Amino acid sequence: MSDTKKTLTLITGADRGIGFETAMALAKLGQHILLGSRDRDRGIEAVNKIKDAGYDAELIVLDVTSQDDISRAQATVNKKYGHLDILINNAGIALDNHKDAAILSVDVIRKEFDVNFFGTVSMIQAFIPLLKKSPSAKIINVSSNMGSLGLASDPNSRFYKVSSLGYQSSKAAVNFATITFAKELADTHITVNSVNPGWTATAFGGRDTNQPAPVGMQSVQKGAQQIIKLASDPRNDLNGTFTENEGTLPW
């Protein structure tokens, strides 16, 4: 068993976008990154970028919709380290293209739930035993302001008129998982929180990153900021929260 003294952090969907930015930043802060990618080649490329910069990372091939992949990842981390300090459930997809709920395919909604919600819950369930072996552990669920029921039902919110039923309800479900696990694990040293990155210039939702980012879209550095802040905070005293760079969000 490898005895790393570094904080051991597993990030799903970390070969690009907010996940990669978070991985690089946390590696720079001295954490050992287990970089989740469902594509081996892209995962190796991402790991090498972190190593070439002089920091620590290793690849975990992981599709969060595959129970086999999750079990294999858990077994690998268990055998090599025997514990996990931080799990960042970042992998996510949005496929609705703002179609009206009346015509949105249920198959599309199901796919979004498979990755965003069931993937997150399956990862948490699989890794709780290893997180329990850390002296201070964190689960950070990358959610979205699009999943806030409070904002979606507030006529004064810009989200009032937004309609992406599959994505929004899957992220609302992620938030429910955060609340549920935060309560269930409250008497352990594992905290569970949701974070909203905000509207961020990645390839998310099929955006062509060769095109200029729309006005108001923030940089990937800004998008990863609150996740990095939570993951690197030595206090670990927040539990059951939903936050973004600007503060707390309504559930």
Q: Which residues in this chain contact ligand NAP in the complex, by CB under 6 A?
A: 12-13, 15-19, 38-39, 62-65, 90-93, 115, 119, 142, 144, 196-197, 199-200, 202-204
- In whole angstroms, give the CA distance from residue 241 to residue 194: 6
Sole residue written with tokens 């850390």 = 134
Distance of alpha carbon 13 from alpha carbon 35, whole angstroms? 8
Q: Indicate the residue among 196 and 225 with the shorter CB distance to ligand NAP.
A: 196
Give the pair of three-digit tokens for residue 14: 């970390």
Tell me how far apart the 2 most distant CA atoms of the chain are, in Å.
Answer: 55
Rounded to 5 degrees, φ, ψ at 112 are -65, -40
Instruction: Give CA 45 to chain center in angstroms.
Output: 20
CB closer to ligand NAP, 20 vs 81: 20
Q: How many CA atoms lie within 13 A of 154 on its CB side?
A: 14
Nearer to ligand NAP, 164 or 191 (CB): 164
In angstroms, what is the minimal distance from the CB of 196 to ligand NAP?
6
**Minimum distance from residue 241 beta carbon to ligand NAP (Å):** 16
In 10 A of CB 40, how many CB atoms?
11
| Bridge partner residues of 195 (DSSP) | 142, 243
Residue (91 or 173) nearer to ligand NAP, CB: 91
Q: Which is nearer to ligand NAP, 136 or 199 (CB)?
A: 199
Q: Percent helix, strand, coil in the chain (nearest 5)?
A: 45, 15, 40
Choice between 85 and 197, CB closer to ligand NAP:
197
What is the smallest separation between the CB atom of 141 and ligand NAP, expressed in angstroms? 9
Residue 6 C-beta: closest distance to ligand NAP, Å: 23
Q: Could you give the CA distance from residue 46 to residue 52 in angstroms, rounded to a whole number? A: 10
Residues 6+ apart with CB under 8 A from 47: 35, 57, 58, 59
In terms of CB distance, is 179 or 217 closer to ligand NAP? 217
CA distance 231 to 138: 7
Q: Least distance from C-beta 124 to ligand NAP, angstroms?
A: 14
Task: Find the shortest distance in angstroms from Cβ 79 to ligand NAP.
Answer: 21
CB 157 within 8 A of CB 189: no
Q: How far is the CB of 1 from ligand NAP (least distance, A)?
A: 26
